[in-house]
Copies of this chain bind each other. A is one copy, B any other.
Amino acid sequence: MLQESSVDSSGSRFAPLVVLELASDTKEEAIAWLLSRIRDWQQNGGAELLVEQLGPGIGVEEKENPNMFLVGASMQRLLCGAEDLGLFKECTDGSMRAFTFASKHNFKDFKGDGDGFLSMAECQYVIKHELDTLRAKEETNVPGYSHAKLYPGKSIIRRLLSKGILIQMFPLHENEELKRLSFSWYKKVKVSLQPLDDIRHYYGEGQALYFGFLEYFTFALVPMALIGVPYYLFDWEDYDKYVVFAVFNLIWCTVILELWKRRSASLAYYWGTLCRKKAFEEPRPGFHGVLGHNPVTGRAEPIYPTSKRHLRVYLVSLPFVLLCLYLSLYIMMIYFQMEGWALSIYDENPTFWTHILLFIPSIIYAVVIEAMNLIYRYAAEFLTEWENHRLESSYQNHLVLKVLVFNFFNCFASLFYIAFVMQDMELLRQSLATLLITSQILNQFMEAFLPYWLQRRRNKKMIRKIQKRRLYEEKELPLVEQVRLEADMSTYLGTFDDYLELFLLFGYVSLFSCVFPLAAVLVVLNNITEVYSDAFKMCRVFKRPFADPAANIGVWQLAFEAMSVIAVVTNCALIGMSPQVRSYFPESETQLILCTVAAEHVLLGFKFILTFLIQDVPKHIQDKLARLEFESLEALKKKLLEKSFPPKVIL
């Protein structure tokens, strides 16, 4: 299964899994020390992995980094690592259980030495975990680097990363499997579902869940798109009719999120991540503080008081975010003023040039929005870094929250203003259509084709360079070149931007699609191309990312649910404003508003009840989980009974 390689420097063969790239000027003693620690026995506190230097490439005329290392491990080491990580695998009886080396033959697909039992992504995840938990012993600093301080228990790799000695650590692609995957994923022309299991096999659960969600979201939109088309064709000018569509929206956005939770739990169960116990999370590389002792592990670790972090979050970050929101609203108001001003000029003097002038404010506003999003994103990253979160998960949550709130405001504030302050449904429809279509085109371009084009240019350069030296008969690049090529590829920064895009699309559809029924159709089309472009960029543009054994889509579930609550409120307000509903309350506006508010409260209440009624995990999976739990309790009881001896007196 793993690609065989013959590395020049040594005669032995091993399957390289992960690449470590050290700075080209790293001192010899530091390299020797690192390699010895990686190769050392586990009993001595080493990682017991195989590691080798990458041989020189062909294009040596350019300055190539000589300090690239391939890391691998024996199959047994990998299996022990998998047990250590508590990976869940399928047993011969179809249930999912934590893998243990002792009971290895109870697991499905375990044959012989276990070759092919773990996927390459899992092997790479094991190696990453082993490297990450390689800890300093008595060393006070990295040999040769007196400023790279170490203390007993500090993760060596994280210190090397934070000091810039280790440039990057990435898993290798597997060309054969990648070809197969990309063929079944995006090269086939026939319409079919995505190969989620294969994606999970190659990229891990986090990626697969994203593509699963993308697919699910697309299918969930189909009924809406189907209703939207006739609506659009026959009722285009009949604003009155949007009430039915708003009611549909309202139910739709609640139900699909609940059902996704069930689907996600199903997927995570069969991928073995639903009930995997997470290992204790290490502090993230950038975390700093006074050296103290972690209250949980007892290990030496930087300590940063929570109260200080709270002060930073609530006294600096929160006001900053609020200020940015205010700025965003302010710029929106300027846009509307400019639009009004352009309109008045056109009304006064309707020539060709003044007609063109009408478009200027929108264009300026769109550009400003994009620029603000970009600047804000950097500011948010800087601030969240500065908040000094101990855990990567906590860092991510704070970053997502900041970016989400601002993007929501930036993208939707103008629509809300048009809908509820200007109450101009015609303008709302136009703005929505423009926003949807332009953002779609921009996104696809920025996300996939631009990086691909850049990558392609780089690849071509390299291939040409190689061909200058030797003429290869085989099309395949040799491993050494392949590794250097991959090291130059862009790093995939996670699913953040992809989810953010889906989040905004979900917002467009659930909030305002009742006034622009074609929105769902556009989003479906967008999602279909998104699948292809995302698949393409994963396979061809980026370095392979490490697998991320996620059990759900995490904080995004919450974000989508918050959006669905906002959607209920918005749709109720739109219904209340519709001429159709207004006609029922001809004399009293107060009564109309009170009825709308009452209906909205009932719907929100109903939504929360629905959240309770629809179980997050399907019954048959609950049963399976309960069965695992029950079995472990029974096993404990049995052990107890065997241990205990009979009491002395029996009446």
Contact B42 A649 (CB under 8 A): no
The listed residue with most B CB atoms (<10 A of its CB), out of A50, A627, A649, A651, is A651
**Chain B: minimal CB distance from A257 (Å):** 16
Interface-forming stretch among A179-187, A496-504, A586-594?
A586-594
Contact A306 B619 (CB under 8 A): yes
A101 interface residue, CB < 8 Å from B? yes
A296: chain B residues at CB < 8 Å are 623, 626-627, 630
Contact A643 B101 (CB under 8 A): yes
A73: chain B residues at CB < 8 Å are 647
A74 interface residue, CB < 8 Å from B? yes
Contact B74 A649 (CB under 8 A): yes
**Chain B: minimal CB distance from A412 (Å):** 16
B-contacting residues, A175-212, CB 8 Å: none
Contact B50 A651 (CB under 8 A): yes
Partner of A593, one of B41, B279, B594: B594
Interface-forming stretch among A320-328, A464-472, A532-540, A633-641?
A633-641
A111 interface residue, CB < 8 Å from B? no
A593: chain B residues at CB < 8 Å are 590, 593-594, 597
Interface-forming stretch among A77-85, A137-145, A233-241, A333-341?
A77-85
Q: Which chain B residue lies CB-closest to A628? A: B296
A297 interface residue, CB < 8 Å from B? yes
Contact A84 B637 (CB under 8 A): yes
**Chain B: minimal CB distance from A592 (Å):** 9
Cα distance A619–B296 when bound, in Å?
11
A242 interface residue, CB < 8 Å from B? no
A39 interface residue, CB < 8 Å from B? yes
**Chain B: minimal CB distance from A646 (Å):** 6
A84: chain B residues at CB < 8 Å are 637, 640
Partner of A279, one of B43, B590, B633, B641: B633
A52 interface residue, CB < 8 Å from B? yes
Q: Which chain B residue lies CB-closest to A596? A: B597
Contact A52 B651 (CB under 8 A): yes
**Chain B: minimal CB distance from A13 (Å):** 10
B-contacting residues, A365-400, CB 8 Å: none
**Chain B: minimal CB distance from A634 (Å):** 8
B-contacting residues, A39-68, CB 8 Å: 39, 41-43, 48, 50-52
Cβ contacts A597-623/B at 8 Å (1 or 0 each): 100010000000000000000010001
Cα distance A105–B279 when bound, in Å?
30
Partner of A280, one of B10, B52, B80, B630: B630
B-contacting residues, A282-299, CB 8 Å: 295-297
Q: Which chain B residue lies CB-closest to A75? A: B647
The listed residue with most B CB atoms (<10 A of its CB), out of A14, A39, A647, is A647
Cα distance A322–B166 when bound, in Å?
67
A493 interface residue, CB < 8 Å from B? no
A650 interface residue, CB < 8 Å from B? yes
Cβ contacts A139-173/B at 8 Å (1 or 0 each): 00000000000000000000000000000000000
Partner of A647, one of B48, B277, B648, B650: B48
**Chain B: minimal CB distance from A622 (Å):** 9
Q: Which chain B residue lies CB-closest to A592? A: B590
Partner of A295, one of B589, B627, B650, B651: B627
**Chain B: minimal CB distance from A611 (Å):** 12
A441 interface residue, CB < 8 Å from B? no
A123 interface residue, CB < 8 Å from B? no
What would 10 A/B residue contacts be, using CB atoms closer than 8 Å?
A41-B646, A41-B650, A50-B651, A74-B648, A84-B637, A280-B626, A280-B630, A280-B633, A589-B590, A593-B593
Known: A39-B650, A50-B650, A569-B601. 11 other contacts (CB 8 A): A12-B651, A42-B644, A74-B648, A76-B644, A80-B640, A83-B640, A280-B626, A280-B630, A280-B633, A296-B627, A297-B630
